[in-house]
Amino acid sequence: MSRPDVHVLNGPNLGRLGRRQPEIYGTTTHDDLDRLLRGWGSDLGLRVHFSQTNHEGELLDWLNRAADLEWPVVLNAGAWTHYSYALYDACAQLTAPLVEVHISAPSQRAEEFRHTSVVTPHAAKVIEGEGIDGYRQALEFIAGQGAQ
């Protein structure tokens, strides 16, 4: 029996993890996160496909693919979370579980614009402020949902 596929998608600037504002986002690098995700996924019986982009259209293409394949998605859309109606529409078409993840807690950040998410209305679960461990929690949630 094959392991279910899960898309873990990161938006803008998240490829700079470990270098970008480590006091907020920690010291785990993007490559470290990739290795962690694959290990956590394997432990949970999931096959993780991890991608990061600074180009909104590319993220939308990945979400469209996930919708077509009925794959669960773990999404940290970065700044697009707060204003991209194209992202809102792409998330609306997903039928498998969508888990919204944020390393920091946007709802607690000083910048008012961070308090709004266009992803949340479509998410089965939102995990924020748990650092990199939020991704592990998201995979556990998906595994518990009987990932497709």
Binding positions for substrate: 76, 82, 89, 103-104, 114
- Helices 85-92 and 56-69 sit at what angle, rounded to 10 degrees? 10
Scan for tokens 């009925």, then name that residue: 70
Residues 6+ apart with CB under 8 A from 112: none
User: Which residues 6+ apart lie within 8 Å of 54 measured at CB?
Assistant: 11, 12, 13, 15
* Active-site residue, from 7, 102, 122, 135: 102
- Per the residue annotation, which of 25, 49, 122, 135 is the catalytic one? 25
Residues annotated within the binding site are: 76, 82, 89, 103-104, 114
Asked about 83 being catalytic, the answer comes back as: no
Q: Does residue 102 carry a catalytic annotation?
A: yes
CA distance 15 to 36: 15
Active site residues per annotation: 25, 102
